[in-house]
Structure 1
């Protein structure tokens, strides 16, 4: 889920860079940084669909 958000942010950053669009707070660099944060959270395991494994005693 977080990886999808990162892909959307990277796509918006690319689109803003290609059309040279920039609002004072929403720049391509800001979107790229937010995308990298989402990728880092995804790699850390935040937002994954699988729950943590539990150890069972037998």
Structure 2
């Protein structure tokens, strides 16, 4: 799930940069790209993948 969110944010960053869209200081293409890369790093490290209930197996 985090990988999909990262892909969407990186695509939005590309559109902002390619279209030279004027945004405020929070939603610049660099900031959106860095958030996307952070989500991608979390995805690759295994965070959010396969949440399972831990229980005793007998």
TM-score bracket, shorter-length normalisation: 0.7 to 0.9
- Distance of 2:48 and 2:22 partners within structure 1: 29
- Distance of 2:42 and 2:27 partners within structure 1: 21
Consecutive unaligned residues in structure 2, runs of 5 or more: none
**TM-score calculated relative to the size of structure 1:** 0.79
Between the two proteins, the alignment pairs up a number of residues equal to 56
- Distance of 2:53 and 2:18 partners within structure 1: 41
- For residue 7 of structure 1, what is the aligned residue in structure 2? 7
**TM-score calculated relative to the size of structure 2:** 0.79
Moved over 4 A (4+): none
RMSD: 2.0
Distance apart, 1:52 and its partner CA? 8.0
